[in-house]
Amino acid sequence: MSAGLETSADKPAQDAPGLPGDPAQQGGTAQAAVVTHGLTKRFRSGQLAVDGLDMVVPRGSVYGFLGPNGSGKTTTIRMLLGLVFATSGSHELLSTAMPAGAARVLPRVGSLVEGPAFYTQLSGRANLARIDAVDATADPGTTDARVTAALERVGLLAAAKKRYRAYSLGMKQRLAIAASLLQPRELIILDEPTNGLDPQGTREVRALIREIATDGVTVLVSSHLLAEVEQICTHVGVMRTGRMVFQGTLEEMRARGAARVQVRTTEPVQAAEVLTKLGLADIQAVDGKVSAQIGDQGPEVVCRELVLAGVPVAGFDTPRPSLEDLFVELTGEGFDVDG
């Protein structure tokens, strides 16, 4: 049971452990909204769902939590919220140790976990009122106003009196988001908020997340599709079979892709020789185009060397792999989902 309410809520973050990306880029504070230390979950079945996860979600960021289905994202989110207990490791939400501080910190955290789930016999409004009645920090006097505001925010006010049973999947999803907006939040965790939505619904949810984030709320949004969150995220964490295979800003992820130099020329052999001499790796020559990993070489150096060596350079480019390519490279190509 929680005894001290307001005592440790505002204590500074414990030695914000080495942010892999850019700690202070967002607004200055090195405080993180979510920190996990070696978080591990082995289910009783023996399945290792999450394996030594070190996750850092900087405050004020929109963190895209990516990975294929079954990679451990939902188990991680359940552990973050104290629904599932970690086998080992620890984590903090808003600088409060979980799950011990759940009663203190969770009122400041809104969440959508693995799809919406409400009472089918109740209306959307009654469902939100029920959620509000559960919250020991909620003021019953303002419930109506807050429920109305939350419904309006997700565009469900017109369907407020309709039974949940009669809601479309998109409406259900939006109601779940509305539930996470009933109170002022500092962190909102959305697990696959666009799952099962049509493209228009996906766009609406994206716009909503963007709007929430502009209020300064940290958003942790999980998805198995990079494309769905790419446009709104500042940071990404990529999971694969229970492990974090990449974490950092979106720029860092882009930069991670090995850039190549690509030369269009009528003398591919000669060009390849120059590139070899410069020490570039993975040289490929395909119909009139020679490419290689550029490595540490500046493109301007490569270009000058080519010209000085007398190679007719008809075109010069330094393409980078798309985020999608990188994502697939990180998470694996096919159906290698374990479990």
Partner 1 sequence: MSTAEAPPVPRPARAGGAPPVRRGYVRPWLRLLRSELGLMFRRWRNRALLAVVVAIPILLGSALRVAVPQGGQNGGGNGLGAAFLTQVAGNGVFLAFLSLTIMLTLVLPLVVAVVSGESLAGEANTGTLRYLLAVPAGRARLLSVKYVAVVVFALAACLLVAASALIVGVALFPVGPVTLLSGTTVPLSEGLLRLLFVVLYVTAAMAMLGAIGLAISSLTEHPIAAIAAIMILAVSSEVADNIPQFAAVGPYLPSHWWLSFDSILRMPIDTTELSHGLLSFAVYIVIFGSIAWARFTSADITS
**Binding residues for partner 1, per CB under 8 A?**
1-2, 5-6, 9-10, 43, 78, 81-85, 102-103, 106-111, 113-115, 117-122, 129-131, 133-140, 145-146, 148-150, 152-153, 157-158, 161, 176, 179-186, 188, 212, 215-218
Q: C-beta of 335: minimal distance to partner 1 in Å?
A: 23
Exposure of 14 by Cβ count < 10 A (0-12 exposed, 13-18 middle, 19+ buried)? exposed
Is residue 88 within 8 Å of 242, Cβ to Cβ? no
Residue 85 CA: distances (Å) to CA of 48, 117, 304: 13, 21, 59
CB of 147 to partner 1, least distance (A): 9
Q: At its nearest, how many Å lie between partner 1 and the CB of residue 49?
A: 10
Query: Between residues 164 and 327, which has the closer beta carbon with respect to partner 1?
Result: 164
Q: Whose Cβ is closer to partner 1: residue 119's or residue 269's?
A: 119
Among 258, 255, 154, 166, smallest CA distance to 207 is for 154
Give how far the C-alpha of residue 117 lies from the chain's centroid of Cα atoms, to the nearest Å. 22
Taking the least distance from each CB to partner 1, the nearer of 113 and 326 is 113
> Minimum CB separation from partner 1 for residue 10, in Å?
8
Contact 177, 185 (CB under 8 A): no
Compute the least distance from the CB of residue 202 to partner 1, in Å. 20
Region of 40 (left: φ > 0; alpha: ψ -120 to 50; beta: rest) is: beta
- Closer CB to partner 1, 43 or 269, in the complex: 43
DSSP 8-class letter at 140: G
C-beta of 140 vs 279, nearer to partner 1: 140
Q: Residue 93 or residue 250: which is nearer to partner 1 going by CB?
A: 93
Strand order in the sheet with 218-223: 109-112, 187-191, 218-223, 62-66, 235-240, 243-249
**DSSP 3-state of 75:** helix
* Nearest distance from C-beta of residue 122 to partner 1, angstroms: 8
